[in-house]
Structure formats: C-alpha cells, structure tokens
Amino acid sequence: MQHVISVTVENKPGVLARIASMFARRDFNIHSLAVGPTEDPTRSRITMVVDGPEMEQIVKQLYKLVHTIKVVEHTPGEAIEREIMLVRVNADTLRRGEILEAANIFEAKAVDVGASTITFEVVGEPARLADFLEIMRTYGIVAQVKSGRIALAKDIKSPARKQKKTA
C-alpha cells in the first residue's frame, strides 16, 4: 500500500539524507520524493510516497530525528496532491493536430515542438497524469520525466462556531 507522508523539518544540511537513510534501513522503498521551502524560510517540507504496511512506527521514528518539526500521513482523499510531468511524444506532421487535440483534453501545454516530436507539460493529480500517459502511448513516448508528488492537507470548509461563555 502506498502512503503519502509530509515531514516539516528545519532547513539544515543533511536532514534529507538522514530521513532517506532511515527509510532505507527499514527496507522501505521511496517511490516519490519532493523537497522545498515552506512559508517559513527556515523550514522545508519533504513529501514522500512510500510503499509499505502500517506507517505508525515510521512516523514515531521520524519524530525522533533531531530537525523534525511535524509529520503528517495524508489520508487518501483528504489531501490535495499534484505532480508535474514532461512527456516527449512522436508527432509526425500528419498526426500533430490529433495529438494536440488529445493533449488539450488534459490541459497539457506544448512546451517544445521539434521536427518529429512534441513535448508536453502536464500538471495534476497522479491518476490524471497516468491517464494522459495512456493516451500518449498510442503515439509513441520518446521521453518522460515526472516530479515527486507534493501534497497538502485540505482545509476545513466551515469555520468552527465560537461558543459564548456563560457567566
């Protein structure tokens, strides 16, 4: 089972290496890894997609690492998840219109056009990117690269009602 985990850490050298080695020592495979600064420049957020059974013990181990501030295991459907992908597709002149039309359905942006290929940029949920790849496979994928997944818990939709204190 895949788990999406976000770890907020102090922005210090070696933190990512310690986290990655902790997963490796426990024989977990990291499928996706994205790291970037947060709203506070002294902190970074590491988002990982990890294959494995229960993550409770891993979360406890992450909190034991010196520079860890917060760990969140995202529940499926309760987080906004995105990836970015670049895909270069065979595109002879006879099929270019057809390929561009198919890409348009996924709001893919043509970012490079060569003599015999088109390179698309696609941003979205992982399942949407997988669907785009399936369509493009029929034309022939020449090259593909995908970022690590990023995730952020969904916000509460209605503010909590403040209760008045009784005297």
The 8-class DSSP code of residue 39 comes to S
- The answer to whether 146 and 85 have CB atoms below 8 angstroms apart is yes
Burial of 127 (0-12, 13-18, 19+ CB in 10 A): exposed
CA atoms within 13 A on the CB side of 63: 10
In the prediction, which pLDDT does 165 show? 43
In the prediction, which pLDDT does 60 show? 93
In the prediction, which pLDDT does 167 show? 42
Q: What is the DSSP string of the chain?
A: -EEEEEEEEE--TTHHHHHHHHHHHTT-EEEEEEEEE-SSTTEEEEEEEEE-S--HHHHHHHHHSTTEEEEEEEPTTSEEEEEEEEEEEE--TTTHHHHHHHHHHTT-EEEEE-SSEEEEEEEE-HHHHHHHHHHHHTT-EEEEEEPPPEEEEPPPSSPPPPPPPP-
What is the full per-residue pLDDT of the chain (167 aa) written as tens digits? Answer: 889 999 999 999 999 999 999 999 988 899 999 999 999 999 999 999 998 888 898 999 999 998 999 999 999 889 999 999 999 999 999 999 999 999 999 999 999 999 999 999 999 999 999 999 999 999 999 999 999 999 999 988 776 654 544 44
d(CA 41, CA 66): 18
Q: Which domains does the chain have, with CATH numbers?
A: 2-74 (3.30.70.260), 80-151 (3.30.70.1150)
d(CA 98, CA 138): 12
d(CA 49, CA 68): 18
pTM, to two decimals: 0.82
